Amino acid sequence: MGVITILSDSKSLLLASSTWLLLLSTCVLALMVYFVSHSIYNLYLHPLAAFPGPWYAVISNVFFSRTLVGGKSVKIIRDLHEKYGEVVRLAPDELSFSSAAAWKDIYTQRKSGNQFLKDEKFYITNNTVRAPHLVNMSDPVKHAQAKKIMSHAFSPKSLSEQEDIVRKYADMFMVAIKEESDKGPIDLNDCYNWITFDILGELAFSEPFGSLEARKTHPWVATTLNMVTFVAYNSAIYRISPKLTKSLLYFVPKSVAKGRMNHVLQSKAKILARLDRKTEKKDFSSYIFQVREEMGLTDWELSAYSNSLIIAGSETSATTLSALTHWLCKTPLVYSKLKDEVRSRFESSSEITSQSATFPYLTAVIHETLRIFPPFPFGPPRITPLGGETVAGVFVPEGTTVSVHMWSSTRNPKNFKDPDAFRPERWLDPNSTDDFSGSNPFLLGPRACIGQNMAWMELRILIAKMVFLFDFETFDKETDWGNDVDSLLLWQKPKLMTEVTARNVS
């Protein structure tokens, strides 16, 4: 009897195992059939099937998602444009453009009235990642309402008041550079972060972050890249499956997640502390509080507004200053010409203002820096409206994610001759064949950077004072800023170790 029972149990177990194995095999086969059929559809039957692109990008979102968080997406996408042309299919439902004409078609108001709205895959806002604010808000009506209020912070009157603050901190910065460089070579990347974040701290919260005084980077600054990297992971995972974003922390490196949370908490604490001070001074926060009253912002949304302004107005300026320094030292003739222009106009650095520093060559150098190393090298994605629209002479079906890849556009030889060469003269040549509409570092249209005039003021003053007061020489001239520098939405800049020598001027 016992033997019969054992045999019976073994038979039952074998039958159960066979059933599970059959079920598992069926599931695997079903998934394979789904993947193959889905891939065939995306390759040959999809509305975007006629657009060129690598097959491995076309069949699913996995390739582009991995590219976003791999750090090399800037170079990869440019390489794809060089291979396939000015429009490339990067994912099943996504097209990237590099032509100058595409900028206007995608980002400005169209005569037809159709709008290319922001793509939620990139601008997704939720309580676990980020709240809606001026930069990521997709609703055009709410965006226009918020922008109208915030625009007062960047009016001509406000800019005049802000210049006094910028000049004060610029002079403090020059003292810091002199004292630190007397000790030996310095990393100008860190130094530029000191000044840009302190200026924005004063303009946004009526108090600096204290970086210039402490001569070290504020903890909030140190977590900025963590915050942006977290957003990149969120966008990448959302592209594969929106449901996976609920488990986002399982995919993000722990150091990034921790840095992002610290950044969020510091942002909230900073804006709420400013709210409690109730000063009459008109800073950026006072306008954010007005947005809060008129649009009913939560504390979370309030901190998101201030956080976005700080990142957009400081990290990008610091990146431009670093890139400009790198390219000046890498192209001695350009540096020499800029020194001659600046130093021949002033007898003292106190004479340098945003108005007095509007020299042609200095302006061209800034333009060329923003072209060859745009602080934000990607193009903000948009969705084509109902009925589809024409972009750069090509009809694009409705519901397609489209963007102009900033880096590919500014390095496109059809837009700029010798695109990899740092040649400020191109911006001064009346006979130039370059298409300057291919470079839009501040974007254009209703979503253009609201603070670009302030950025230009800051750059003119800081660059003119640096060139007037110091000679500088970077150690690393071999690194190709772009192909050799990683980017996760923002650049992961290498160190900029520099020998700085003060001139005998004041």
Q: Is residue 156 assigned to a domain?
A: yes
Is 392 inside any structural domain?
A: yes
Residue 303 falls within a domain, yes or no?
yes
> What integer best gives the mean pLDDT of the chain?
87
What pTM value is reported for the model?
Answer: 0.90
For 240, phi then psi, to 5°, come to -75, -45
How many domains is the chain built from?
1
Contacts of 66 (CB under 8 A, 6+ apart): 236
Burial bucket for residue 244 (CB in 10 Å: 0-12, 13-18, 19+): middle
Contacts of 59 (CB under 8 A, 6+ apart): 38, 39, 42, 43, 92
Both tokens of 112, joined, read 């037809």
Domain membership flag for residue 6: no
Does the structure show a pLDDT above 60 at 261?
Answer: yes
What are the residue ranges of helices labelled H in 182-248? Answer: 188-205, 211-214, 219-222, 224-240
Alpha carbons 295 and 32: distance in angstroms, whole number: 49
- 389-391 vs 117-118, strand pairing mode: unpaired
pLDDT higher than 70, residue 13: no
Q: Residues in the chain, how many? A: 506
What is the tens place of the pLDDT at every residue in 438-475? 999 999 988 888 889 999 999 999 999 999 999 999 98
Whether 41 is in a domain gets the answer no
Give Cβ neighbours of residue 129 (< 8 Å, ≥ 6 apart): 230, 231, 234, 245, 248
Distance between CA atoms of residues 402 and 27, nearest Å: 35
CATH of the domain at 355: 1.10.630.10
Q: Is pLDDT above 90 for 303?
A: no
Tell me if residue 195 falls in helix, strand or coil. Answer: helix
Strands (E), 360-426: 382-383, 389-391, 394-396, 401-404
Residue 305 lies in a domain: yes
pLDDT at 34: 62
* DSSP line for 122-175: HH--BTTTB---TTT---HHHHHHHHHHHGGGGSHHHHHHHHHHHHHHHHHHHH
Q: Which domain holds residue 140?
A: 55-502
Say if 302 falls within a structural domain. Answer: yes
**In-domain check, residue 1:** no
Q: How confident is the model at residue 14 (pLDDT cuts 50, 70, 90)?
A: low
Q: Which of 38-42, 82-86, 209-213 has the lowest mean pLDDT?
A: 38-42
CB 240 within 8 A of CB 62: yes
As given in the structure block, the two tokens for residue 233 are 């992971």
Out of 93-102, 196-205, 264-273, least confident range: 264-273
> Do the annotations mark residue 449 as ligand-binding?
yes
Q: C-alpha dihedral over 351, 356, 357, 363, to 10 degrees?
A: -170
